[in-house]
Amino acid sequence: MMRYTHKFGQALDTVLELTVVLSEDMDRGLASHGLTVSRAHLLWALRQLGPTTQRTLADALAVSPRTITGLVDGLVATGFVTREPHPTDRRATHVSFTEHGARTVAALERGYEELAQALFAGTPAGEVDRFVASIEDLVVRLRNLTTRGHDGDQ
Amino acid sequence: MMRYTHKFGQALDTVLELTVVLSEDMDRGLASHGLTVSRAHLLWALRQLGPTTQRTLADALAVSPRTITGLVDGLVATGFVTREPHPTDRRATHVSFTEHGARTVAALERGYEELAQALFAGTPAGEVDRFVASIEDLVVRLRNLTTRGHDGDQ
DNA sequence: TATTGTTATACTCTATAACTATA
DNA sequence: TATAGTTATAGAGTATAACAATA
């Protein structure tokens, strides 16, 4: 994308290329199930939390309640989840998987594992470990930049 | 995100965490300039192509002409580019940087280089090279998967 | 009073289809 | 006829604010 001629710039180019290719691959995979990234995130949170309220999902996804309303609308319309009255709190909504939703999340999990296999299978364990350590280092460096705020490059 | 307990799944988790943190960082940086990712892509293409038509930009960004209309609308309204009659083809529009747009792209370039430095400076050259080679390997593996189509995991 | 989730409204990105002006 | 870019329309994701129902 960025096409830099400097050494570290090229390295960052490569990382960005990976992020692009990876996200395209995941988008395609999700689309083949009739899902978007945001809706899949919601399903994933629901798998981790179990049946829960929209408020809880809003916190889990770090989006507004309004956004959850829209995502759940879409997932209900496409048959992945149900919206039912909350057993104890009559203000709240209970969001649960349909059969189809549960099956789909299981399929996504399998697809994820298969992708991981396809990416790393055959690579010597030590090499994978070193690679992962390098990435974790980058994540730490990025978080430090973020914390200190580096918007002052205008 | 995915929290897998298997070895390769964990490695993929780490890669995804990097993509999330990286894209959050870039979103913040662009937002501090009053830009979105899509609009910044357009500016980037414009820097590479020089003043050009919307049609050319549509091809460069691989989006529809309609989408370019919207992006250019936004960039004109916020003062990054100008829309002028094309010198020779009266159907077409000539998109150029404003002073502010040109200055902003230059600042983005500097910010990109600074980010690359912050991520890789201090890392032994050989280690960076090995890391980049690993990422390139993943990109190749992903492209192979994509080519063969792997949607059949339902 | 505080909380849950809605409607109302708005902005961004994306698309297809129909249409205008020009090649 | 083909091309450039528009309007019309639509859907997805995101947000804030006002409001209803309930706690």
Q: What is the band of B104 on the pLDDT scale with cuts at 50, 70, 90?
A: very high
**Residue B147 reports pLDDT greater than 90:** no
Q: Do B7 and A131 touch (CB under 8 A)?
A: no
Which stretch of DSSP H or E encloses residue B97?
strand B93-97
**Total H helices, total E strands in chain A:** 6, 2
Task: Answer whether any strand C atom is within 7 A of the Cβ of A76.
Answer: no
Q: Mutating which of A135, A147, A148, A154 best tests the B interface, going by the most B Cβ atoms within 10 A?
A: A135
Residue B149 is predicted with a pLDDT of 55
The protein residue nearest nucleotide C20, judged by CA to C1', is B91
Contact criterion met (CB below 8 Å) for A28 and B151: yes
Q: How many CB pairs under 8 A join A and B?
A: 172
Tell me the mean pLDDT in the region B72-79: 98
B127 token code pair: 């280690």
Residue of higher predicted confidence among B116 and A3: B116
Closest residue (CA to C1') to nucleotide D11 in the complex = A74
Q: Does at least one atom of strand D sit less than 7 Å from the CB of B58?
A: yes
What percentage of chain A carries pLDDT values higher than 90?
88
Do B140 and B147 touch, CB atoms closer than 8 A?
Answer: no
Q: Which residues of B fall within a CB distance of 8 Å from A33?
A: 154
**A145 band by pLDDT with thresholds 50, 70 and 90:** confident
Residue A7 — pLDDT band, cuts 50, 70, 90? Answer: confident
Interface contact flag, A2 B107, Cβ < 8 Å? no
Phi-psi region of B97 (alpha: psi -120 to 50; beta: other; left: phi over 0): beta
Query: What's the whole-model pTM score?
Result: 0.91
CA distances from B58 to B1, B40, B84, B88 (A): 34, 14, 17, 19
Of B92, B38, B80, B82, nearest in space to B60 by CA? B38
High-pLDDT (> 90) share of chain B, %: 88
Residue range A15-28, pLDDT digits in tens: 999 999 999 999 99
Task: Tell me the pLDDT band of A118, cut-offs 50, 70 and 90.
Answer: very high
| Nearest nucleotide, CA A65 to C1' | C5
pLDDT at B5: 55
User: Which of A37, A49, A134, A140 to substitute to test the interface with B, most B CBs within 10 Å?
Assistant: A134
Check whether A154 has a pLDDT greater than 50: no
- Read off the pLDDT band of A146 (50, 70, 90): confident
Does the CA dihedral A94-A98-A99-A101 come out positive or negative?
negative
Question: Both tokens of residue A35?
Answer: 């899902």
Pairwise CB contact (< 8 Å): A11 & B142: no
Give the CA-to-C1' distance from B124 to D13 in angstroms: 42
Residue B79 has what pLDDT?
97
Rounded CA-CA distance A112/A118 in Å is 10
Residue A153: what pLDDT?
Answer: 36
Q: Give the mean model confidence (pLDDT) for residues B55-78.
A: 98
C1' of C22 to CA of B147 (Å):
40
